[in-house]
């Protein structure tokens, strides 16, 4: 079954595949929230996926389970990711994620603050259809 970019907007988990310089894909299950025609993902600035996106903005997305198992026979959707670290971009992405995931999102980031990590250690991945 073909998957469209907008069909991913309602998925609880999305498999984000970023690519190493060698071309090998590295899949990661993430929360993703839509705003208009964009998906937002939040991650730590030092994550491997951020480094890979800096080198290659091309990514693929597929609906998945929390464990990263692709749902059904969903085909990968080609997309482009942009790293957003400015305060306005962080606020917009965080608001979209908090709206979609609610208490789960707030709980996850409360725990992060207790460990000493703060907003300065996060970036938003702004993902658009290729």
Domain boundaries, the chain: 6-129
Under DSSP, the state recorded for 115 is T
Amino acid 75: pLDDT? 93
Amino acid 1: pLDDT? 40
Q: Does residue 18 contact residue 7 with C-beta atoms inside 8 Å?
A: no
Q: Does residue 65 contact residue 71 with C-beta atoms inside 8 Å?
A: yes
Under DSSP, the state recorded for 122 is E
Amino acid 120: pLDDT? 58
- The packing angle between helices 103-114 and 87-101, to 10°, is 130
Question: CA separation (Å) from 21 to 41, 58, 60, 67?
Answer: 22, 12, 15, 25
In this structure, what is the dihedral angle of CA atoms 92, 13, 26, 107, given to the nearest 10 degrees? 60
10-29: pLDDT as tens digits: 999 999 999 999 999 999 99
Q: What is this structure's pTM? A: 0.89
Which CATH code fits 6-129? 2.30.110.10
Regions in the chain scoring below 70 on pLDDT? 1-3, 110-120
């Amino acid at each position: 079954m073909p998957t469209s970019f907008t069909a991913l907007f309602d998925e609880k988990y999305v498999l984000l595949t970023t690519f190493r310089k060698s071309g090998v894909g590295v899949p990661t299950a993430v929360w993703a929230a839509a705003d208009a025609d964009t998906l937002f993902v939040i991650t730590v600035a030092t994550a491997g996926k951020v480094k890979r996106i800096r080198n290659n903005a091309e990514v693929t997305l597929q609906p998945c389970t929390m464990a990263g198992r692709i749902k059904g026979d969903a085909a990968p959707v080609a997309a482009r990711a942009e790293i957003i670290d400015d305060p306005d971009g962080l606020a917009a992405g965080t608001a979209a994620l908090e709206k979609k995931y609610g208490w789960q999102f707030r709980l996850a980031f409360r725990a992060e603050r207790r460990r000493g990590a703060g907003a300065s250690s996060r970036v938003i991945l702004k993902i658009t259809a290729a």
